[in-house]
Amino acid sequence: MGGLSSERDISLKSGRAVLNALKDAGWQALSLEVLEETQEEIQRLVREAAVDVVFVAMHGGFGEDGRLQKILEDMRVPFTGPAREASRLAMDKVASRRIFEGAGLRVPRTRVIRRGYRMMSLLHGLRYPVVIKPAAQGSSIGVSFVSHWKELSCAVLKALRYDDTVLVEEFIEGREITVSVLDGTALPIVAIIPKKDFFDFQAKYEKGMTEYVVPAPLEAQVTERARQDAVTAYHALGCRHLARADMILNEEGRAVILEVNTVPGLTETSLLPKAARAAGLEFASLCTKIVELALNS
């Protein structure tokens, strides 16, 4: 847990929650807090601890984009979550959305801006509102909702602080949901109802800013199709063990996939644990299940 990404604090919360849950479940568990994102540091931490399996609770950057996974694979140490290539693809929204489209899934219409390109020529003719986001960030960090062209430059520059590639995507009016997948099976859907206009960083992490309803109050056909889409996205990326697909249900009731998180939030009140609890799996049992999946991979 930890690391140096903009999601460090959230990662520490996830890691501590998982640590406590595993101890409660009878595992001999200890925390490995990453302070340097280097191969040497990861190898040192893992070897000194002499662990049998690593539970990955590092959100963002190094912990989620395949670099940590590659080091652990090279060390032949089992770990939770997808292997390096699936992690890399999921973290890169440009690459993952191409894969989703190839699998027949719906994604937002998007333009891609890369640092150094002539921005305004790429953004000519946009229909507002649009959503601006870094291509490889989580937790809504660097995301802006733009309703007028005058706001565009500032929003793009904000996103470029976090990534060299920025997505400019259509704003889809609809209901926000998330579908967690555990070992290839979709869990009950969580409906996300922010008390402000958009589900941004503040809405995600400030207490009382968002209401979550699980199972989501959706028509049976819509529920089944969204769960199938989440599993399709999970397999298309090559995921394993766990993942969480974030979606918007458009006016037709069809799921539009925004991203798949391979190291989703893992506190007791995070979305995947909420979904697992609705399926009858309490937090300590969920963490145990994930460790067992890693040990048996």
Render pLDDT for 239-271 as a digit per residue (tens, 0 to 9).
Answer: 999 999 999 999 888 999 999 999 999 988 899
Question: Is 261 one of the catalytic residues?
Answer: yes
Catalytic residue among 205, 250, 268, 292: 205
What is the distance between the alpha carbons of residues 255 and 106, in angstroms, rounded to a whole number? 7
Cα Rg of the chain (Å, integer): 19
Among candidate residues 97, 176, 265, 270, the one labeled active-site is 265
pLDDT(207) > 90: no
Per-residue pLDDT of 150-196, as tens digits, reads: 888 888 889 888 888 899 999 998 999 999 999 999 999 999 997 75
Domain at 110-170: CATH code = 3.30.1490.20
- The class that CATH gives domain 8-81 is alpha beta
Q: For the domain covering 89-107+172-295, report its CATH number.
A: 3.30.470.20
The full set of domain ranges for the chain reads 8-81, 89-107+172-295, 110-170
Is residue 128 annotated as a catalytic residue, yes or no? no
For 149, which DSSP code?
Answer: G
Residue 282 designated active-site:
no
Active site residue 244: yes
259 is catalytic: yes
| 7, 163, 169, 229: the active-site residue | 7
Q: Between the CA atoms of 165, 166, 172 and 176, what dihedral angle is there, to the nearest 10 degrees?
A: 70
Q: Is 246 assigned a catalytic role?
A: yes
Residue 119 has a CB neighbour count (10 Å cut-off) of: 17
Q: Tell me the per-residue pLDDT of 89-121, one tens digit each, with 9 for 90 and over.
A: 999 999 999 999 999 999 999 988 888 666 555
Encode 65-82: b = buried (16+ Cβ within 10 Å), e = exposed.
bbbbbbbbeeeebbbbbb
DSSP-derived secondary structure letter, 52: S
